[in-house]
């Protein structure tokens, strides 16, 4: 059997085994440690299948796989729905990077177009890559030579089925006792059987396609995608006048806005009430998400301007970098205004998931602007994509580490202790990540609020075991442990009566 055919057959076999393992593990939802176990096995399988290049494997750096392992571990660590979604997105992004690396593309020098083509190539391979795993003529001859025993078994089974059905059916009709015995032995839930077949088939298909993209020595999807995107980038460039006018207009708009905001930031409540015509709460509430949108949209504008600018004249490049640097400084002040608004809003109305994650997103945008200044504005555009991606991974990792739901719960209880209104219904809906913090700080609350929080925790996270180790999650286990070990003196029955009142 040829090396290529052997590799393809090995990929098919490994995909089928991972499909069976996926059916056994991943059907238990919500996902917890089962996803971590399956991903670890899948990564090991993919690494084992990588073709050798001489005595060396393809130049794959370990950090994308380390990132994939970290984010899949976070699925078994945190219970927040927001974090779970973005951990899965980060996991898929990290797993797509080795497809780029396997074709010799260095991630820290890859362009945005390279990353885009790599994501598309990984997606296409997941969708249709399994169709490209035919072992070919050499593999077919090998299967013919080595599969005689398997064919003999299959032929024997094919012949036994009709005979068994005919004779078994007659004997079952002849004796009720035998009929009951046979039915007890072959009692099959065909709906469950079908679900096993579908899940195994789907996981096998996805894994086979991904492994094909990872192990293929040639990659037409990625190659043609990169060629198309790079040709699309070969367009007529614009001069400084065409680029400078719109950027100059943005500078004027941003300067005007920042000048207006300065008096609000430093003038206090009286300036807001008299000049803005808004209450303090209206000022705090209004405009935050619009300012996030402005900050987010500026980035593609600056990237597009750098992409379009004709760079044959040094003074044109320097002029662009000056305007772009000025806009970055102004957007920093605008982002400061947005953070100030969110701080005031949170002070008045408490912290929520939307407010926390919106602020975190603005932090990532700030990191991306710093990366832009350090790469694009210094003539190192090909390093921008890597820095932005690494910054996104870093922010998401930090969110997992700081436990947002626990911080939200703690912030709102601190406000309640200071006499502010406490939204019991909202904090009680937070994920298991928040339960230990809620129960540890419950004495800060009024008796009625404390009872409602305590009883809600008991209802959602009592000491009943999860029942399936595959769904085990550290946060959910921690919530059950916190409920079990809570030393709050008010009995649960009393809290139930108070909560029902």
pLDDT tens digits, one per residue of 54-111: 444 555 678 898 999 999 999 999 999 999 999 999 999 998 888 888 777 888 888 8
* 228 and 250 share one domain: no
H or E element in which residue 501 lies: none
* 299 and 422 share one domain: no
Integer CA distances (angstroms), 159 to 168, 172, 208, in order: 14, 20, 32
* 14 and 147 share one domain: no
Q: Looking at 376-423, list the stretches that DSSP marks H as alpha helix, in order from N- to C-terminal side.
A: 384-402, 404-417
Each residue of 461-474: pLDDT tens digit? Answer: 876 666 788 999 99
Is 320 part of a structural domain of the chain? yes
Is 388 part of a structural domain of the chain? no
Over residues 25-50, the mean pLDDT reads 90
* 154 and 78 share one domain: no
Integer CA distances (angstroms), 167 to 134, 153, 266, 436, 496, in order: 40, 21, 93, 63, 63
Output the pLDDT for position 66: 92
The count of domains in the chain is 4
* 297 and 431 share one domain: no
Whether this prediction's pTM lies above 0.85 is answered by no
Integer CA distances (angstroms), 407 to 79, 357, 411, 436, 458, in order: 14, 12, 6, 11, 21
Closest among 306, 290, 376 to 338, alpha carbons compared: 290
* 147 and 183 share one domain: yes
Residue 498 predicted with pLDDT over 90: no
* 227 and 246 share one domain: no
* 13 and 109 share one domain: yes
CA angle 52, 54, 60 (to 5 degrees): 50
* 283 and 329 share one domain: yes
Is 302 part of a structural domain of the chain? yes
Is 371 part of a structural domain of the chain? yes
Pairwise CA distance, residues 120 & 116, whole Å? 6
Q: Which residue has the higher pLDDT, 193 or 185?
A: 193
Pairwise CA distance, residues 289 & 341, whole Å? 10
At residue 131 the predicted structure's pLDDT band, cuts being 50, 70 and 90, is confident
For residue 309, is it left (φ>0), alpha (ψ between -120 and 50) or beta? beta
Q: Looking at 403-461, list the stretches that DSSP marks H as alpha helix, in order from N- to C-terminal side.
A: 404-417, 424-428, 435-440, 447-460
For the chain, percent of residues with pLDDT exceeding 70: 76
For the chain, percent of residues with pLDDT exceeding 90: 39
Over residues 310-329, the mean pLDDT reads 92
At residue 137 the predicted structure's pLDDT band, cuts being 50, 70 and 90, is very low
Output the pLDDT for position 325: 96
Each residue of 272-307: pLDDT tens digit? Answer: 555 555 665 666 666 678 888 899 999 999 999 998
Q: Which of 188, 216, 249 is the last residue of a domain?
A: 188
Domain that holds residue 171: 140-188
């Amino acid at each position: 059997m040829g090396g290529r055919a052997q590799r393809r057959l090995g990929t098919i076999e490994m995909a089928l085994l991972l499909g069976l393992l996926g059916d056994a593990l991943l059907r238990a939802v919500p996902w917890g440690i089962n996803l971590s176990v399956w991903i670890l096995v899948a990564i090991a399988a993919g690494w084992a299948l990588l073709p050798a290049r001489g005595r060396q494997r393809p130049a794959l750096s370990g950090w994308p796989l380390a990132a994939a392992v970290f984010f899949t571990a976070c699925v078994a660590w945190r219970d927040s729905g927001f974090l779970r979604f973005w951990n899965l997105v980060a996991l898929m992004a990290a797993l797509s990077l080795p497809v780029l690396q396997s074709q010799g593309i260095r991630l820290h020098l890859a362009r945005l177009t390279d990353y885009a083509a790599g994501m598309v190539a990984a997606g296409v391979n997941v969708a249709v890559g399994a169709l490209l795993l035919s072992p070919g003529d050499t593999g077919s001859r090998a299967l013919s030579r080595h599969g005689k025993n398997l064919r003999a078994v299959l032929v024997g089974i094919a012949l036994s089925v009709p005979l068994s059905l005919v004779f078994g059916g007659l004997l079952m009709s002849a004796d009720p006792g035998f009929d009951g015995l046979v039915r007890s032995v072959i009692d099959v839930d065909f709906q469950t059987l079908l679900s096993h077949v579908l899940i195994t088939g789907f996981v096998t298909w996805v894994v086979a396609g991904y492994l094909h993209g990872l192990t293929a020595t040639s990659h037409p999807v990625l190659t043609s995608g990169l060629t198309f995107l790079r040709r699309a980038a070969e367009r007529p460039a614009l001069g400084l006048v065409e680029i400078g006018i719109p950027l100059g207009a943005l500078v004027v708009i941003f300067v005007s806005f920042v000048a207006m905001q300065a008096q609000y930031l430093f003038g206090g409540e009286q300036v807001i009430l008299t000049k803005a015509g808004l209450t303090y709460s209206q000022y705090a509430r209004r405009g935050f998400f619009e300012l996030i949108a402005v900050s987010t949209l500026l980035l593609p504008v600056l990237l597009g301007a750098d992409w379009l600018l004709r760079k044959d004249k040094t003074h044109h490049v320097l002029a662009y970098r000056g305007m772009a640097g000025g806009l970055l400084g102004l957007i920093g002040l605008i982002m400061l205004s947005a953070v100030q608004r969110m701080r005031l809003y949170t002070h008045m109305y408490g912290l929520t998931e939307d407010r926390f994650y919106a602020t975190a997103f603005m932090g990532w945008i700030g990191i991306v602007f710093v990366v832009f200044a350090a790469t694009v504005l210094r003539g190192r555009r090909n390093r921008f994509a890597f820095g932005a991606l690494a910054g996104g991974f870093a922010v998401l990792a930090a969110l997992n580490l700081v436990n947002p739901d626990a911080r939200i719960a703690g912030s709102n209880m601190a406000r309640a202790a200071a006499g502010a209104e406490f939204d019991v219904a909202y904090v009680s809906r937070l994920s298991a990540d928040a339960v230990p913090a809620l129960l540890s700080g419950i004495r800060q609350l009024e008796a009625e609020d404390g009872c409602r929080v305590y009883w809600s925790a008991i209802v959602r996270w009592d000491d009943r075991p999860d029942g399936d180790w595959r769904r085990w999650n550290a946060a959910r286990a921690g919530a059950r442990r916190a409920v079990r070990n809570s030393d709050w003196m008010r009995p649960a029955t009393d809290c139930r009566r108070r909560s029902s009142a």
